[in-house]
Amino acid sequence: MKQPELRAGYTDNDTRVHDDMSKICPLLPTNEQLCVELSTILTNKRISTLFQPIVDVQQIEVFGYEALSRGPSDSPLHAAPILFETAERCEKNSQLELCCLNATLEHWQQYSLTNKVFINMNPEMLMHPGFGVKKLLLSLKKRNISASSIVIEMSERFPITNIVQLKLAVTWLREQGFLIAIDDLGAGYSGLKLWSDLKPDFVKIDRHFIRDIHEDLVKREFVRSLVDLSERIGCEIIAEGVETSAELAVVKALNIHLIQGFYFGRPRAIPNASLELCQTKEMPQPRTYGQFARDLSEYIEPVSSKTSLKHAWDVLQKNPTIFSLPIVDDGRPLGLLHRWRVLELYGSQYGRALYEKHPVIKFINKDSLIVDVNMSLDDVSQRLIDEDYHYLKQHFIVVEQGYYLGMGTTRSLLKQLTQQRIQIARYANPLTQLPGNVPIKTEVEKRIERGESFYFAYVDISHFKPLNDYLGYKVGDTVILKLSVLLKSTFTGAADFVGHIGGMILW
């Protein structure tokens, strides 16, 4: 096969290094093999789309979603960087961009969502003869999707070869109703110049400036200056990569209302338009010490049921800390493939030759424990105990509305439960076992710090001292216990908190 001509951003040395690595490691595909793989993906339209929410923390609603494209899970081109790098080397940029666009719009139409969708595009593609802005509009018209619901994201990581032509393309897009965003501001080429030239509706600050912003004065001042500038020229700032409550608190204090990051949700195949996820993140969890399966969930990249055992084993070999692989089709988990199971198969005589080409679905543990994100840790623990009398499962799958979210381990569950028990024992009221003075104070301070609205009330039993004097403390304790049980069974919402301080029970 003729070596494809190199495009902007790739040097002859880049290709030579990849080819040299392929000779050193035969398992690494060559450039030619990757080009063939890409052609197969494009022909069969095997691009998948994930959606990550962008949350308006001022209105408490999902503002929109960023659409993220991936290759097939069983392909060496699964990860977005290598997928698009390969398209660049193989001169298939426009074909890949169009395939990703169509996949995004088809999914968006399928779920009938009304939120805005942010679609990433290489700015050069808007001027490419094989793609262009008119093909973009045609794709929308075919699906009866309004241009006003689409935000075109252009990353400043890509060099702009013809800013005049790009400005003309952006002007035409605006005339059709599209909105414009600059992605990764501060991450690459002259972002402020691009901001000045294109006058976007949204600017997304690169995650580098958001990570640990609560600990870095320089980052805070840099972001503050961008917010001040955006307010003067009528542009919305979006903070990317928010992962912790501390980072969220700072960006909110800097007057940024549009937030994107793992704190509110990871990219997922089925976009969740419900406010449930956002509200549970913003509001305190039930009963200060109550934790959920969500807190144990760690995202492990799944593989499909058709993946070969050989490929699954390669994934496990490259990730020695992963002991089980989730098997997922169309977002729904089917079970787990355990490392020990593959070793058992490969350890038998001729095992590797016999089994490595078979799909993993033949070897998975189909009775894997699957729990909902909102299941309490106590309930998860009970499910593990009830599952099997002879074997304690070491891993479980966490789902949200039936769709794969991540995995948890029994070890992390036991660790969290132990810490929870210690905390309860240290601060709970000895009679009712409700949280005492310290956690009540912490809970109130946390809600005030977040600027949340809440009601604070206390229950006091009338004539309680005469009751104790006449019937004795044992009867008095029974009354307090019954009252605590009544309150705990009544106030069970995600934002409810019941505590016990002195002679009062608060909720």
Q: What's the confidence (pLDDT) of residue 36?
A: 92
Task: Assess whether 185 and 61 both reside in one domain.
Answer: yes
Q: Which domain holds residue 472?
A: 451-506
Calculate mean pLDDT across residues 47-53: 92
Last residue of a domain, one of 414, 443, 478: 414
What's the token pair of residue 270? 């089925």
Q: How far apart are CA 138 and CA 66, in angstroms?
A: 21
Q: Which of 441, 259, 296, 435 is nearest to 378 (CA)?
A: 296
Is 4 inside any structural domain?
no
Q: How far apart are CA 160 and CA 152, in angstroms?
A: 16
Is 33 inside any structural domain?
no
CATH of the domain at 145: 3.20.20.450
Q: How far is CA 329 from the centre of its chain?
A: 18
Mean pLDDT rounded to a whole number for the chain: 79
Task: Assess whether 89 and 113 both reside in one domain.
Answer: yes
Is 476 inside any structural domain?
yes
Has residue 66 got a pLDDT over 90? yes
> What's the CA angle centered on 432, arms 431 and 433, to 5 degrees?
100
Q: What's the confidence (pLDDT) of residue 466?
A: 83
Binning pLDDT at 50, 70 and 90, where does residue 274 land? low
Has residue 506 got a pLDDT over 80? no
Of residues 47 and 11, which shows the higher confidence score? 47
Task: Assess whether 338 and 485 both reside in one domain.
Answer: no
Last residue of a domain, one of 233, 256, 282: 282
Q: Which of 342, 303, 305, 306 is nearest to 326 (CA)?
A: 303
Q: Which of 4, 74, 66 is nearest to 41 (CA)?
A: 74
Has residue 40 got a pLDDT over 60? yes
* pLDDT tens digit sequence for 332-349: 899 999 888 888 888 887
Least confidently predicted of 113-117, 192-196, 315-319: 192-196
Least confidently predicted of 237-246, 399-408, 419-428: 419-428
DSSP-derived 3-state class of residue 118: strand
* pLDDT tens digit sequence for 81-93: 889 889 989 999 8
**Torsion over CA: 91, 93, 98, 104 (sign):** positive
Task: Assess whether 319 and 228 both reside in one domain.
Answer: no
* pLDDT tens digit sequence for 156-191: 666 777 888 888 888 888 998 999 998 878 655 456
Q: What's the confidence (pLDDT) of residue 322?
A: 86
Q: How far apart are CA 490 and CA 313, in angstroms?
A: 50
Calculate mean pLDDT across residues 214-239: 89
Cβ atoms of 239 and 184 closer than 8 Å: no
Quick one: what percent of the chain has pLDDT higher than 90?
17
Task: Assess whether 122 and 80 both reside in one domain.
Answer: yes
Task: Assess whether 76 and 178 both reside in one domain.
Answer: yes
Sequence-distant (6+) residues with CB within 8 A of 121 are: 97, 152, 153, 154
Q: What's the confidence (pLDDT) of residue 237?
A: 95
Calculate mean pLDDT across residues 463-472: 80
Is 426 inside any structural domain?
no
Last residue of a domain, one of 282, 308, 325: 282
Cβ atoms of 411 and 393 closer than 8 Å: no
Binning pLDDT at 50, 70 and 90, where does residue 69 land? very high
Q: What's the confidence (pLDDT) of residue 275?
A: 47
Task: Assess whether 136 and 238 both reside in one domain.
Answer: yes
Q: What's the confidence (pLDDT) of residue 41?
A: 93
Calculate mean pLDDT across residues 411-419: 82
Is 6 inside any structural domain?
no
Quick one: what percent of the chain has pLDDT higher than 70?
83
Least confidently predicted of 117-126, 161-170, 213-222, 491-500: 491-500
Binning pLDDT at 50, 70 and 90, where does residue 122 land? confident
Q: How far is CA 412 from the centre of its chain?
A: 20
Task: Assess whether 467 and 495 both reside in one domain.
Answer: yes
* pLDDT tens digit sequence for 279-307: 444 433 333 344 678 778 888 888 889 99
Task: Assess whether 355 and 500 both reside in one domain.
Answer: no
* pLDDT tens digit sequence for 137-165: 888 888 888 889 999 998 766 677 788 88
Q: What's the confidence (pLDDT) of residue 241?
A: 92
Calculate mean pLDDT across residues 212-241: 89
In the sheet that holds 504-506, the strands lie side by side as 458-459, 504-506, 499-501
Is 242 inside any structural domain?
yes
What is the Cα gyration radius of the chain?
Answer: 27
pTM: 0.54
Is 398 inside any structural domain?
yes
Task: Assess whether 183 and 327 both reside in one domain.
Answer: no
Q: What's the confidence (pLDDT) of residue 288?
A: 36
Task: Assess whether 330 and 239 both reside in one domain.
Answer: no
Q: What's the confidence (pLDDT) of residue 203?
A: 93
CATH of the domain at 354: 3.10.580.10
Calculate mean pLDDT across residues 263-292: 58
Cβ atoms of 182 and 237 closer than 8 Å: no
Is 224 inside any structural domain?
yes
How many structural domains are present in the chain?
Answer: 3
Task: Assess whether 335 and 460 both reside in one domain.
Answer: no
